[in-house]
């Protein structure tokens, strides 16, 4: 009885006006003809290899951008009603801003985001694909290919939802915007698309001038503890890459020192990996809200865990549970990933310069500066012990003791720390806000009354990092059931694919979300 009462506490929203649209379109969405039609739209998009790389020149200078013209033309031919009824602006040639003007100018717009670019498929793994990565194969159950899930599925679903509403002569009261970037998958500091789109929107609507922003995220309906959870991310972690460089004298490898530069770097890597950031759970972390929702509402959470989450010593026991899995612990700590290493030119030549790049996704309780301070605490004692000069993020650090010693002793080398792309964790959207309840109600209206909606933390980053000033309510999820693909998500790897059932669910969600928000007022 208690469980049922808790389920009823979350709202369920269905559009009230224009019941004819509900009757017509929701019935159409369930047909094989519609399923195959929307699959064909995604297939055609996947067949255009809109790949971005970590280092690309400016649009108009680097010919690798030119394929995006083909994709834009494909969208124009596929959605003629949209191109007739909506306003379209292009930014830096390939950024697309669709605006569907509402009749009530006092209502702040609803903003959807997507991106048209994809990661490379990788020639070394081409033979491992079930179907070639840009063939866009559709077998009646899945659309296969690079970008089929991330993120062309969301883009095609958004446009299809609007196209279906236009076919019914739906005229929104609230302006609806789709902002389509084209370099989300590019290098971390590349920002020809989303950043410029965000600047245009900020100039037009002003700070907090948008009611709500909805962007991609994980496959947002997951089965946990015997319960279906819809998990919109209300925050995302920060980001920093730290480059650790060791510079030492070279020479012939026939007379090596005790440690080469690579040997020293190996010591440093071990220090970094053996002393990770501490896990902490704080009230601002959406993960805590999710866990409490799961403890109250899930059907089969182990009673010991349920009691721990809701009990007086919750934090300590929650951290034990979170740290037991690398996926869960990423929600409560700043992650450390040693990803790229380089150094050494020839087998008989001692390496003079070696380096490693360490990627960090910054937890909500930490900051860019906290990451830098962590490195200094870890490596300053090592540098002093090894008689290395220590340059940390632009500052030469040395204690009085090491400085006086270095006057008499020969320095062994130099240790340098540099940071690239510094981004603190995002602002946190308030799950107690009325607008979050609109999302909750729509998700439960589309996916069923038994679905529990809870906020979550996104461990990666999206293009929303450029949009923080536009709205206090930003949500990130891909609205389809992860259970439609038993193999799990395949984004960014071999055999990426999108279940057609999930694609249709996304169309239904965007279709209903537009209508529900059109009826809501703050």
Tokens for 298, please give them.
Answer: 């899930």
User: Using an 8 Å Cβ cutoff, are 177 and 162 in contact?
Assistant: no
Tokens for 63, please give them.
Answer: 């010919």
426-464 core/surface letters (b: 16 or more CB in 10 A; e: else): bbbbebeeebbbbbbbbbbbbbeeebbbbbbbbeebbbb
Tokens for 103, please give them.
Answer: 């009749």
32 annotated ligand binder: no
Task: List the catalytic residues.
Answer: 117, 184
Q: Is 213 helix (H, G, I), strand (E, B) or coil?
A: strand
115 annotated ligand binder: yes
Torsion, Cα 95 170 31 49, to 10 degrees, reads -10
Among residues 192, 194, 193, the alpha carbon closest in space to that of 213 is found at: 194
Alpha helices in 422-499 (DSSP H): 434-447
Distance, in Å, from the CA atom of 514 to the CA atom of 114, rounded to the nearest integer, reads 16
259 annotated ligand binder: no
Tokens for 93, please give them.
Answer: 């040639």
Q: Is 96 helix (H, G, I), strand (E, B) or coil?
A: strand
**Residue 240, CA distances (Å) to 63, 333, 441 in order:** 29, 14, 36
User: Using an 8 Å Cβ cutoff, are 154 and 115 in contact?
Assistant: no
What is the sign of the dihedral through the CA atoms of 239, 460, 511 and 496? positive
Q: Is 402 helix (H, G, I), strand (E, B) or coil?
A: helix
Distance, in Å, from the CA atom of 218 to the CA atom of 52, rounded to the nearest integer, reads 21
User: Using an 8 Å Cβ cutoff, are 173 and 145 in contact?
Assistant: no
163 annotated ligand binder: no
Distance, in Å, from the CA atom of 294 to the CA atom of 452, rounded to the nearest integer, reads 8
User: Using an 8 Å Cβ cutoff, are 496 and 146 in contact?
Assistant: yes
345 annotated ligand binder: no
Q: Which residues are annotated as a binding site for Zn(2+)?
A: 115, 150, 185, 215, 492
Q: Give the annotated binding-site residues.
A: 115, 150, 185, 215, 492
């Amino acid at each position: 009885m208690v469980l049922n009462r808790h389920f009823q506490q979350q709202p369920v929203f269905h559009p009230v006006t224009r019941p004819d649209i509900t009757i017509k379109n929701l019935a159409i969405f369930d047909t094989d003809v519609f399923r195959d039609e929307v699959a064909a739209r995604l297939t055609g998009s996947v067949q255009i290899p809109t790949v971005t790389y970590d280092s690309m020149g400016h649009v108009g200078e680097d010919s690798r951008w030119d394929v995006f013209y083909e994709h834009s033309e494909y969208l124009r031919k596929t959605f003629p009603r949209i191109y007739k009824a909506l306003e379209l602006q292009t930014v830096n040639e390939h950024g697309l801003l669709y605006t569907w003007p509402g009749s009530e100018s006092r209502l702040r717009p609803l903003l959807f985001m997507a991106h048209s670019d994809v990661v490379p498929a990788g020639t070394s793994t081409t033979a491992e694909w079930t179907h070639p990565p840009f063939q866009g194969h559709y077998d009646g159950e899945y659309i296969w290919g690079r970008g089929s899930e991330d993120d062309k599925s969301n883009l095609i679903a958004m446009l299809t939802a609007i196209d279906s509403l236009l076919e019914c002569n739906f005229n929104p009261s609230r302006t609806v915007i789709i902002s389509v970037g084209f370099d989300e998958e590019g290098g971390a500091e590349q920002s020809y698309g989303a950043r410029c789109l965000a600047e245009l929107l900020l100039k037009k609507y002003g700070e907090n001038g948008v009611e709500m922003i909805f962007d991609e995220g994980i496959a947002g309906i997951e089965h946990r503890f015997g319960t279906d959870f819809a998990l919109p991310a209300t925050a995302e972690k920060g980001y920093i890459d730290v480059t650790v460089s060791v510079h030492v004298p070279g020479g012939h490898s026939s007379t090596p020192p005790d440690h080469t530069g690579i040997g020293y770097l190996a010591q440093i890597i071990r220090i970094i990996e053996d002393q990770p950031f501490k896990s902490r759970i704080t009230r601002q972390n959406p993960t805590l809200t999710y866990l409490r929702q799961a403890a109250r509402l899930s059907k089969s959470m182990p009673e010991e865990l349920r009691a721990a989450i809701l009990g007086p010593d919750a934090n300590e026991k929650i951290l034990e549970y979170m740290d037991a899995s690398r996926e869960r612990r990423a929600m409560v700590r700043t992650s450390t990933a040693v990803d790229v290493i380089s150094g050494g030119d020839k087998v008989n030549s001692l390496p003079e310069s070696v380096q490693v790049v360490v990627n960090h996704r910054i937890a909500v309780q930490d900051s860019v500066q906290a990451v830098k301070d962590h490195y200094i605490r870890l490596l300053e004692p090592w540098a002093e012990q090894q008689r290395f000069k220590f340059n940390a993020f632009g500052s030469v650090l040395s204690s009085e003791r090491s400085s006086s010693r270095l006057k008499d002793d020969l320095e062994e080398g130099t240790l340098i720390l540099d940071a690239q792309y510094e981004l603190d964790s995002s602002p946190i959207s308030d799950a107690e806000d009325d607008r979050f309840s609109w999302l909750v109600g729509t998700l439960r209206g589309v996916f069923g009354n038994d679905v529990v909606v809870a906020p979550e933390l996104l461990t990666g980053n999206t293009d929303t990092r450029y949009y923080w000033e536009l709205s206090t309510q930003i949500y990130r999820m891909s609205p389809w059931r992860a259970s439609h693909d038993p193999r799990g998500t395949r984004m960014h790897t071999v055999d990426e694919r999108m279940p057609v059932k999930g694609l249709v669910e996304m169309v239904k969600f965007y279709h209903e979300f537009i209508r529900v928000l059109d009826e809501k007022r703050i």
